[in-house]
Each structure stands twice: as structure tokens, then as C-alpha cells.
């Protein structure tokens, strides 16, 4: 497994990580817990060292799963988790909360659930406009000095927020959505990260499954599936967005690869400090995703992809209106 370093942080991780959210949250029906522990163990065996979770996934159950699964390998892996939502016991979100006292409460809970005494990478899950980012960065600076956190990051933050946070305590990584069907980070975010030496961890690198080519306008999701609330996943928009999958299929055929592997390979060649974290609950998908490192894209391939993609207008917002309001702040 190839390794990458997230920006100037010195934090080394596998070139492709594993997003664990879908194992307990967002995309029901959820698999058997022991099967997911076995899958995480298999990922470690295959060289994955970077695992992503959050307290709000469940809430709490995802961290418990990841903590149990990775306990035997704790010194060999990097665990990233997130704070900043106020999860209620009934599984509902009660809004954003990055107040210092809440962050300190969150870290203690995460440490316990993850069965560890230090979080390798601790992200603010979404920017809380009620708490100055300098105040949040100050708390993380203290937690790093106290040895409870090694590195910290932001998720879906805007460029100015990133700069302000980084000035107080260097940010190791930004985790935001980035893929061939969401390229907005290229406008301002990626240049900012490059300037400051911050790593980039794209979530939903396969477009919440759409870029695998296994979803079309006829696909029926579980009634509680998060994608039912996403405008981009309406039947009409899925039909229109098939053009992007068709493009990936064309390149994949040329490369003897799959659309998912081309989508991930495309991300990997953008910058050497980009580390995507595709999620899956299936072993064959894990194997497929990790195989993206063998799908080498040449400059001509990239030109072909960019030229074709420039003529495809992706239809539909990537979040509901409420979700969109919490991004890019």
C-alpha cells in the first residue's frame, strides 16, 4: 500500500483510507456488526492505515464499532473522528455546538468509545458560526498540548475560516466533498490548502455511490437512506447525471478498470497530499477501491477526462437546503 503525508503535518497515512460512516449511519440497511469488524480487520490486512468516523454517526455507535475493530492494531493505524454536532440520545441532531466546554466533553466520549488515549486527527465536523474559529482552534491547541489530540482538522470549511484557524494552530487536513461530480474545491479551497501546506481528505469520492455505475434512475433506496433527501439523487437528476458515469465507463474500458477505480485514480493524481476515504460495507468493493492505485492515468487521460467533463453539467444540489447552509462557511 502506498503512503501519503497530509500536507506539512507529518501525518502519514495510506493513500486511500476507509470511511466507516455507512457501517452504522446514513445508508441503511446496516450490516451485522461482526461482519463490519471483520471488514475493518481485512482493510488493515490490505494495508489501509487511515480510518474515518465521527461521534454523530449513530450517534456514538460508529466510534464504538471502529474502536473495537481497531483496538488490536491501535499503534499501526490513524484514527480520525469529529466533533461539533450535539447528538441526542434518540439519534437526532440537535444542531451545531463547538463551544469549548462541549469540545472537551466530546473528546472524552470519543477517547472512551475509540478505546484510546489520543485521537490522531480530530476534525471540527462543521463550522459553528456561534463560536469564533479562533476560539475552537485555541481549544484544539490546548488538547494537542495535553496529549489528547495529535493533529486537528476542519470539514467543509471555507477558505477564510481555514486561514483564521491555521493562524492559531496549524491545521493538518481539511475533509470536504470532492470528486469528478463536485469540483467546487478547485476554485478556492485547493489553492488555499496548497499555500498553507494542509492535506485534503475528500469524502464521498465516489459521489455517494453514484460514480460506481451501480446506481441509475430506477434504483430504489431504503426509506431511511440519506440519499432520499439529496436533490442530486432525484430520479430525474440521476438520469441526467448518468453522463458522468458514461464518461468514467469509457475511460475504465480503456484502462481495464472499473468506473470507481477511475474516479479514485483521478483524485489521487490531482495532488500528492490528497487522500480519499471511500466508504463501503462490502469486501469486494474494498478490494475494488484499493485497486484504484493500479489504475494509472496519463496526462492525455486527464486531458480527455477534463475535456469531456467540462461539457457535463451535474444536475441537483449535493445536500438539502439545510445541509447546504452548513458548508463552505
Catalytic residue among 57, 122, 123, 178: 57
**Dihedral of alpha carbons 319, 323, 327, 329, sign:** positive
- Which residues does 184 contact at the CB level (< 8 Å), separation at least 6? none
Measured CA angle at 175 (ends 212, 239), to 5 deg: 30
CB atoms within 10 A of CB 234: 16
Q: What is the number of helices (H) and of strands (E) in the chain? A: 11, 11
* Residue 57 annotated in active site: yes
Alpha-carbon distances, residue 202 vs 9, 185, 206, 325 (angstroms): 17, 10, 10, 19
- In whole angstroms, give the CA distance from residue 201 to residue 276: 5
CA distances (Å), origin 70, targets 22, 79, 88, 327: 17, 9, 25, 30
Q: Give the integer Cα–Cα distance in Å for 169 and 209.
A: 35
Between CA 188 and CA 185 the distance in angstroms is: 6
Q: Closest Cα to residue 264, out of 16, 13, 9, 11?
A: 16
197 φ/ψ sector (left φ>0, alpha ψ -120 to 50, else beta): left
Question: Would residue 271 be called left, alpha or beta, if left means φ above 0 and alpha means ψ between -120 and 50 degrees?
Answer: beta
Query: Which residues are part of the catalytic machinery?
Result: 57
Amino acid at each position: 500500500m502506498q503512503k501519503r503525508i497530509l500536507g506539512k503535518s507529518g501525518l502519514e497515512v495510506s493513500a486511500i483510507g476507509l470511511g466507516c460512516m455507512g457501517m452504522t449511519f446514513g445508508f441503511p440497511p446496516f450490516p451485522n456488526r461482526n461482519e463490519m469488524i471483520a471488514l475493518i480487520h481485512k482493510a488493515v490486512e490490505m494495508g489501509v492505515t487511515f480510518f474515518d468516523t465521527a461521534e454523530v454517526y449513530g450517534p456514538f455507535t460508529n466510534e464504538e464499532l471502529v474502536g473495537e475493530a481497531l483496538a488490536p492494531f491501535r499503534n499501526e493505524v490513524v484514527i480520525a473522528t469529529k466533533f461539533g454536532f450535539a447528538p441526542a440520545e434518540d439519534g437526532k441532531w440537535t444542531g451545531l455546538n463547538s463551544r469549548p466546554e462541549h469540545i472537551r466533553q466530546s473528546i472524552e466520549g470519543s477517547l472512551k468509545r475509540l478505546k484510546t488515549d489520543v485521537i490522531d486527527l480530530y476534525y471540527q465536523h462543521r463550522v459553528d458560526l456561534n463560536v469564533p474559529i479562533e476560539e475552537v482552534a485555541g481549544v484544539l491547541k490546548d488538547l494537542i498540548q495535553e496529549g489528547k489530540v495529535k493533529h486537528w482538522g476542519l470539514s467543509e470549511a471555507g477558505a477564510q475560516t481555514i486561514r483564521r484557524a491555521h493562524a492559531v494552530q496549524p491545521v493538518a487536513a481539511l475533509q470536504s466533498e470532492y470528486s469528478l461530480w463536485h469540483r467546487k474545491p478547485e476554485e478556492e479551497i485547493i489553492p488555499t490548502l496548497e499555500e498553507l501546506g494542509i492535506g485534503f481528505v475528500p469524502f464521498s469520492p465516489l459521489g455517494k455511490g453514484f460514480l460506481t455505475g451501480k446506481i441509475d434512475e430506477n434504483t430504489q433506496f431504503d426509506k431511511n437512506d440519506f440519499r432520499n433527501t439529496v436533490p442530486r439523487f432525484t430520479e430525474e437528476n440521476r438520469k441526467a447525471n448518468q453522463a458522468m458515469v458514461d464518461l468514467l465507463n469509457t475511460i475504465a474500458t480503456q484502462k481495464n478498470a472499473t468506473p470507481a477505480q477511475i474516479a479514485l485514480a483521478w483524485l489521487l493524481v490531482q495532488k500528492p497530499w490528497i487522500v480519499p476515504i471511500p466508504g463501503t460495507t462490502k469486501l469486494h468493493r474494498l478490494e475494488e477501491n484499493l485497486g484504484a492505485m493500479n489504475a494509472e492515468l496519463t496526462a492525455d487521460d486527464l486531458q480527455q477526462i477534463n475535456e469531456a467533463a467540462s461539457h457535463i453539467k451535474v444536475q441537483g444540489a449535493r445536500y438539502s437546503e439545510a445541509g447546504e447552509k452548513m458548508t463552505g462557511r
